[in-house]
Amino acid sequence: MAISSPGVGSNLDVNGIVSQLMTIERQPVTLLDNKEAAYQAKLSAYGNLKNALSSFQGAMSGLALAARFQSLSATASDATVLTASANSTATSGSYTVQASQLAQAQNITAAGRTSASAAIGASVTTTLSFQFGTISSGTLASGVYSNATFTEDATQATGTVTLNSSNNSLQGIRDAINAANLGLTATIVNDGSATPYRLVLASSSTGASKSMKISVAGDATLQAALAYDPAATQNLTQSSAAQNAALTVNGIAISSASNTINGAVQGVTLNLAKAGTTTLTVARDTAAAQSAAAAFVKAYNDVNNTLTSLSAYNAATKKGAILQGDSTVLALQSQIRGVLGSALTGSSATLKSLSQIGIALQKDGTMALDAAKLATASASNFNDIAGLFAAVGKASDSLVSFVSSTANSRPGSYAVNVTTLATQAGTTGSAAAGLTINTGVNDQLLVALDGVSATVTLPAATYTASGLAAQVQSMINGTAAFAAAGAAVNVTQSSGVISIASNRYGSASSVSVTGNGLLNLLGIAPTITGGVNAAGTINGVAATGTGQTLTGATGTATEGLKILVAGDATGARGTLGFSQGYAYKLDALASSFLNTSGPISSRTDGIAKSITDLGSRRDAANRRLLDVEKRYRAQFTALDSMMSSMIQTSNFLTQQLAALSKSS
């Protein structure tokens, strides 16, 4: 088998010739590579732009919250008595606070036992029923009440614990109570006596209305150990009474179930730590407004720096940046400057432009903050500063309030007219309720509340009318299915007739009751009423009512504008002034550019498609080049062989001629 190498026979540089020819042939592929590199550079530049714009949008979103600019500080002169915080609804001022008593939870203790693990009683299935309420009247001596009255707190859920042979020891009782999550905590204390193990029950909540009542049905021994009724038999003793915090604010007496007190001073939360007197000062937090304004300036400068670096022209190098002249970048720059250059509309506030608080664009395109000018504006128009940044609405009627808006809502002053007030659904009995509840006879209520259904079992007992109403409310509101759905009721009684009302407003509100306890509780023909949505107009156009809210109609200037209507008056309810601040507008603008259907995604998708197309074209070109190189190599190899043959022939003829010459 012959072995050959290109050029061996004729010394023709076949490899070099083919290589040089292929370099020329590859020029179109090189052009494609260069074009792809340019596209990749643009794609990377758009990635940088997207990251910068995303950071800008996040900053604007946070700054579009009015609370960032309306915060107030609350400071106590003696922080050992209380600490405090204030929200934007607070009013600057000074208050004298005198705390005479802290709120505390009730603690009751059972008699001591020799063992914490030994069974108590005869292992008969026993039910512990827990209620919470207020102890009034009577006297307290050695932890036991005499001639007292117990009134149940309907706002706190009640519940039961079942004991049997598996958990009728002190330890088992403790664990069963804690597992039930009924609003109290059980522990076992060893006091070192001959009968050292004592069950201690503590309410999880402070306040005078959180005293406990424990009913025991079943084993007599367990009943003797655990039954506790402040108005009757008390087999446990009280070691700590449930009580409210007592204080005065500027001489006005205030009682609170918690040591955290909201509403005593509007917009202020007080956290009591001990009895004593202190001065509370509520003041505008101008530092927070200054910080937020500085954050706005920094966010703008950061995104502006990215836009400039990606689109600038370098006169020294005579080269433009990768996105110089790019229509998307130019549009974004133009629209941002357009937002910043326009005054706000729709607001009656004095402040309508950023320059009024010391924020202005400089000649080099950056933004600067004049802290002194901002401080002056804060001193004279503190409440208006938020409107320069956030979307805010201010109603002339104190019972009409701005809730939210959408990108389609337009700034303006809009008249509000209410034709129908929202109502809550309810069921009212047709006769006075029976006050004795018997197990398995009239104790079950199947309640359908706001679209959620659950069965409620009332503890067997004889109640007063108000006590039964409180028990029903407590049991319904304590049901997990309702709590998870945010559904709750208010149960009242009048002359013994029970009424159950949903806490929700509007058509989503509904209450109906069935079960073996229906007839006893509500009579033979209870009256059922459905909830009604609010109805009215905003800016003269019918709005959509949902519960107590009215939302502006689609396709109008008030589209998506949502307001809450409270109170009991229909007709003209004043006006709502709505404005969109600069941070809100820039947040919306950035979001529109970052949207999956926005210009940046559209541009990057186009570039990515171009890169894919270039790749396909390059692959096809490379396949063609393989064929071209194969053809060149075959041609020049054939030439090499032919030249080698010709050289051999030439050499032969030369030899023959030389031989003839010698012969002659």
More confident residue, 4 or 388: 388
Mean pLDDT of the region 419-435: 96
Other Cβ atoms less than 10 A from the Cβ of 538: the count is 26
Q: Does the global pTM surpass 0.85?
A: no
The overall longest dimension of the chain from CA atoms, in Å, is 162
**Nearest Cα to 85, choosing from 271, 243, 333, 225?**
271
Q: Is 50 exceeded by the pLDDT of residue 93?
A: yes
> What does pLDDT average to over the chain?
90
Q: How confident is the model at residue 23 (pLDDT cuts 50, 70, 90)?
A: confident
Q: Which residues pair with 201 in a beta bridge?
A: 108, 186
**Percentage of residues of the chain with pLDDT beyond 70:** 98
Mean pLDDT of the region 136-155: 91
Mean pLDDT of the region 55-65: 89
Q: Is 60 exceeded by the pLDDT of residue 47?
A: yes
pLDDT tens, 580-638?
A: 889 999 998 998 888 888 888 888 888 888 888 888 888 888 888 888 888 888 888 88
Q: What is the C-alpha end-to-end distance of the chain, expressed in Å?
A: 42
Q: What are the φ/ψ torsions at residue 535 (nearest 5 degrees)?
A: -140, 150
Per-residue tokens: 167? 């958990």
Give the Cα-Cα-Cα angle 178, 183, 189 (nearest 5 degrees).
50
Which pLDDT does position 158 carry in this prediction?
A: 77
Mean pLDDT of the region 417-432: 96
pLDDT tens, 528-546?
A: 999 999 999 999 999 999 9
Q: How confident is the model at residue 3 (pLDDT cuts 50, 70, 90)?
A: very low
More confident residue, 651 or 359: 359
Q: Is 60 exceeded by the pLDDT of residue 390?
A: yes
Where are the domains positioned within the chain?
Answer: 14-58+612-663, 72-102+246-284, 107-243, 394-422+534-580, 424-529
Q: Is 60 exceeded by the pLDDT of residue 2?
A: no
One-letter amino acid at 248 equals T
Which pLDDT does position 476 carry in this prediction?
A: 93
187 close to 107: Cβ distance less than 8 angstroms: no
Other Cβ atoms less than 10 A from the Cβ of 292: the count is 21
More confident residue, 374 or 350: 374
Q: Is 70 exceeded by the pLDDT of residue 664?
A: no
Per-residue tokens: 400? 């009409």
Q: Is 80 exceeded by the pLDDT of residue 449?
A: yes
Give the Cα-Cα-Cα angle 488, 491, 156 (nearest 5 degrees).
60
Task: Indicate the Cα dihedral angle 110, 114, 118, 121, nearest 10°.
Answer: -50
Would you call 571 exposed, middle or buried from its count of C-beta atoms within 10 A (0-12, 13-18, 19+)?
exposed
Q: How confident is the model at residue 4 (pLDDT cuts 50, 70, 90)?
A: very low
Give the dihedral sign, CA 458/462/465/471. negative
Which pLDDT does position 598 carry in this prediction?
A: 83
Which pLDDT does position 288 carry in this prediction?
A: 82
pLDDT tens, 63-86?
A: 888 878 878 889 999 999 999 999
505 three-class SS? strand
Give the Cα-Cα-Cα angle 480, 482, 484 (nearest 5 degrees).
65
**Nearest Cα to 336, choosing from 373, 372, 311?**
311
| One-letter-per-residue 3-state SS of 160-183 | EEEECCCCCEHHHHHHHHHHHCCC
More confident residue, 658 or 106: 106
Contacts of 575 (CB under 8 A, 6+ apart): 395, 396, 413, 414, 415, 416
Instruction: Decide yes or no: CATH 2.60.40 for domain 424-529.
Output: yes
Other Cβ atoms less than 10 A from the Cβ of 594: the count is 16
Q: What are the φ/ψ torsions at residue 622 (nearest 5 degrees)?
A: -65, -35
55 close to 64: Cβ distance less than 8 angstroms: no
Q: How confident is the model at residue 342 (pLDDT cuts 50, 70, 90)?
A: confident
261 close to 272: Cβ distance less than 8 angstroms: yes
Cα–Cα distance between 653 and 101 in angstroms, integer? 132
One-letter amino acid at 39 equals Y
Other Cβ atoms less than 10 A from the Cβ of 601: the count is 15
pLDDT tens, 263-315?
A: 899 999 999 999 999 999 998 888 888 888 999 999 999 999 988 888 888 77
Other Cβ atoms less than 10 A from the Cβ of 141: the count is 8
Per-residue tokens: 508? 């989503």
Per-residue tokens: 50? 């997207």
Which pLDDT does position 1 carry in this prediction?
A: 37
Per-residue tokens: 74? 């609350």
Task: Indicate the Cα dihedral angle 426, 427, 428, 432, nearest 10°.
Answer: -140
Cα–Cα distance between 145 and 259 in angstroms, integer? 25
pLDDT tens, 192-246?
A: 999 999 999 999 999 999 999 999 999 999 999 999 999 999 999 999 999 999 9
